[in-house]
């Protein structure tokens, strides 16, 4: 039986029993989170400027080398909660500096090496083009998507609006737009999941209410669900790309929906998702570079056919293939082979560490659990290396918990991540 939380999309997400580091005490590698108090701190403007500057830096091919935080991780000026998060920017000793068998993103397709930030700007374009070629082209991004307010109430110190958003040409999706009390502009976070109610605490699954909790902490949040409402058969609106790429396209349109709001600071918009939503968020941040940072909760951040729940091979993710009958759900076998873009990716040695590299130098948090154990640092180290080339440290972090289901501690660190890099 597949775990519905990752392998088989449903409205339920049941638990499974699945860089240059920041200075921190050697024994603290976030192997198991301790008690963590919810952060309520204004992040210094210097941090905000660094994150906001990235889209312009990337487009110009330049890179600055300012540090990611104005005070050291162990400085008394940092609250205890940020010091706890700081320890998560370094891998456990057994994975430090390990790169495994992944092809380095710092090597061009012709075998030449990436040696400078200017080289990386060209290499990044090469990687991005190749992934779009494999997955299929997007329709034009909608720069001014329509957003219709259907209802509005006040709830738990936030204004809660039911909205209908233009997520693709000729396609609308309903979701929830939450904004904190007070004057903006506010940072914002797009929250993606099977359906939007869970993300604002109106579902029956606790600890997945990222939209509500972030709004209570000073963020505007837009929570949306699967295009068309059926994660097994997402509505692609006639687009010719793989479903997971289309999800990223929808997220890019929702970025514009948030950026166009007068109460939102458009250079401080992040994205987050759990499980299926984590896959969605990771692809969105990699393929749409205007997301200022991204946090993913236990999606399975690399291809892994030893884990049935890390199921990028499925036709609702990367395995869509109009030339073949729809494959049966489950791990690929000779009788149920790989299909679609996923098959080509495996045959040509592609893996998701290339998407991690596309996110650099924007901050990237993996809230790991059953599907993303500490060994995932072997893949993340490639993103750390890209960040180092660009002059950045402390951009890739990983927290760990025992199971797939988020915990109070893992969520507190996730919220701390957004507070640190987007501010309030």
Report the residue count for the chain.
Answer: 424
How far is 78 from 395, CA to CA, in rounded Å? Answer: 17
CA 273 to chain CA centroid, nearest Å = 7
- Look over the chain and give the mean of its residue pLDDT values, rounded to a whole number: 85
Q: Which range has the worst mean pLDDT, 80-94, 188-202, 205-219, 389-403?
A: 80-94
Q: Is the pLDDT of residue 405 over 50?
A: yes
**Has this prediction a pTM greater than 0.75?**
yes
The verdict on residue 5 lying in a domain is no
How far is 271 from 210, CA to CA, in rounded Å? Answer: 10
pLDDT of residue 365: 98
DSSP bridge partners of 264? 186
Dmax over CA atoms of the chain, in Å, equals 61
pLDDT of residue 50: 41
What SS3 class is residue 165? strand
Q: In the chain, how many domains are there?
A: 1
Query: Is-contact 23 68, C-beta < 8 A?
Result: no
Average pLDDT over residues 354-358: 98
Render pLDDT for 280-338 as a digit per residue (tens, 0 to 9): 999 999 999 999 999 999 999 999 999 999 999 999 999 999 999 999 999 999 999 99
Name the band, by pLDDT with cuts 50, 70 and 90, for residue 25: very low
Residue with the two structure tokens 């660009």: 390
Average pLDDT over residues 271-284: 98
Q: What is the CATH number of the domain that holds 92?
A: 3.40.50.1820
Between 225 and 49, whose confidence is greater? 225
What SS3 class is residue 116? coil
Query: Is-contact 55 362, C-beta < 8 A?
Result: no
Helices then strands, each counted (H, E), the chain: 11, 9
Tokens of 260: 């166009």
The verdict on residue 231 lying in a domain is yes
The verdict on residue 389 lying in a domain is yes
Q: Is the pLDDT of residue 185 over 70?
A: yes
Report the candidate in 252, 231, 248, 253 with the shortest Cα–Cα distance to residue 283.
Answer: 248
Say which DSSP state 190 is in.
Answer: E
Query: Is-contact 395 33, C-beta < 8 A?
Result: no
Residue with the two structure tokens 């198991």: 32
The verdict on residue 240 lying in a domain is yes
Report the candidate in 151, 215, 209, 214 with the shortest Cα–Cα distance to residue 181.
Answer: 215
The verdict on residue 35 lying in a domain is no
Sheet containing strand 220-224, edge to edge, reads 147-155, 158-168, 171-180, 220-224, 186-192, 264-274, 294-297, 364-368, 396-400
Supply the range of the domain harboring residue 235.
Answer: 45-422
Angstrom CA distances, 242 to 255, 267, 302, 342, 378, stand at 20, 28, 17, 10, 27
Q: Can you give the C-alpha Rg of the chain in angstroms?
A: 20
Q: Is the pLDDT of residue 156 over 90?
A: no
pLDDT of residue 83: 75
Query: Is-contact 255 410, C-beta < 8 A?
Result: no
Residue with the two structure tokens 């205007």: 290
Q: Is the pLDDT of residue 61 over 60?
A: no
The verdict on residue 202 lying in a domain is yes
Residue with the two structure tokens 């991204």: 294
pLDDT of residue 130: 98
Render pLDDT for 68-94 as a digit per residue (tens, 0 to 9): 333 344 445 566 667 789 899 999 999
How far is 95 from 87, CA to CA, in rounded Å? Answer: 15
Q: Is the pLDDT of residue 127 over 50?
A: yes
Report the candidate in 198, 203, 247 with the shortest Cα–Cα distance to residue 223.
Answer: 198
pLDDT of residue 30: 62
pLDDT of residue 81: 64
Query: Is-contact 309 7, C-beta < 8 A?
Result: yes
Q: Which range has the worst mean pLDDT, 71-80, 263-272, 288-297, 368-377?
A: 71-80
Residue 130 main-chain phi, psi, to 5 deg = -65, -40
pLDDT of residue 283: 99
The verdict on residue 192 lying in a domain is yes
Q: Which residues make Cβ contacts (< 8 Å) with residue 402, sequence separation at least 6?
A: 17, 32, 369, 370
Render pLDDT for 26-44 as a digit per residue (tens, 0 to 9): 333 464 443 333 333 333 3
Q: Is the pLDDT of residue 64 over 60?
A: no
CA 294 to chain CA centroid, nearest Å = 4
Q: Is the pLDDT of residue 5 over 90?
A: no
Report the candidate in 121, 414, 148, 181 with the shortest Cα–Cα distance to residue 278.
Answer: 414
The verdict on residue 75 lying in a domain is yes
pLDDT of residue 78: 62
Return the number of other C-beta atoms located less than 10 Å from residue 206's C-beta. Answer: 11
């Amino acid at each position: 039986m597949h775990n519905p939380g990752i392998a088989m999309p449903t409205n339920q997400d049941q638990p499974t029993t699945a860089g240059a580091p920041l200075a921190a005490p050697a024994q603290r590698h976030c192997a198991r989170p301790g008690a963590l108090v919810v952060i309520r701190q204004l992040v210094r403007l210097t941090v905000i400027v660094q994150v906001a500057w990235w889209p312009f830096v990337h487009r110009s091919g330049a890179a600055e080398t300012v540090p990611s935080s104005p005070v050291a991780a162990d400085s008394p000026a940092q609250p205890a909660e940020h010091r706890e998060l700081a320890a998560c920017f370094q891998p456990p000793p057994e994975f430090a500096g390990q790169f495994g068998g992944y092809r380095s993103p710092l090597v061009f397709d012709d075998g030449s090496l990436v040696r400078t930030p200017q080289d990386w700007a060209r290499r990044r374009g090469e990687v991005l083009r190749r992934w779009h070629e494999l997955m299929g082209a997007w329709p034009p991004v909608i720069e001014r998507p329509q957003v219709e307010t259907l209802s509005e109430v006040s709830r738990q110190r936030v204004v809660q609006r039911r909205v209908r958003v233009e997520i693709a040409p000729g396609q609308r999706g309903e979701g929830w737009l939450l904004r904190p009390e007070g004057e903006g502009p506010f940072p914002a976070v797009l929250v993606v999941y099977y359906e939007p109610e869970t993300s604002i605490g109106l579902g029956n699954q606790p600890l997945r209410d990222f939209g509500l909790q972030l709004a209570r902490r000073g963020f505007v949040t837009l929570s949306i669900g699967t295009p068309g409402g059926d994660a097994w058969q997402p509505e692609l609106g006639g687009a010719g790309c793989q479903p997971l790429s289309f999800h990223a396209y929808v997220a890019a349109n929702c970025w514009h929906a948030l950026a166009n709001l007068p109460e939102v600071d458009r250079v401080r918009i992040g994205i987050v998702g759990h499980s299926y939503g984590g896959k969605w968020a990771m692809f969105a941040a990699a393929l749409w570079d205007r997301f200022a940072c991204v946090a993913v909760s236990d999606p399975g951040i690399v291809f892994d056919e030893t884990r049935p729940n890390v199921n990028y091979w499925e036709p609702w993710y990367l395995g869509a293939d109009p030339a073949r009958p729809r494959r049966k759900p489950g791990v690929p076998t000779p009788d149920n082979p790989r299909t679609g873009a996923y098959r080509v990716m495996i045959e040509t040695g592609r893996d998701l560490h290339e998407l991690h590299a596309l996110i650099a130098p924007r901050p990237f948090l993996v809230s790991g659990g059953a599907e993303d154990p500490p060994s995932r640092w072997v893949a993340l180290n490639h993103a750390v290396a890209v960040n180092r080339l660009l002059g950045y440290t402390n951009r890739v972090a990983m927290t760990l918990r025992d199971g797939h289901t988020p915990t109070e501690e893992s969520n507190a660190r996730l919220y701390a991540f957004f507070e640190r890099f987007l501010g309030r």
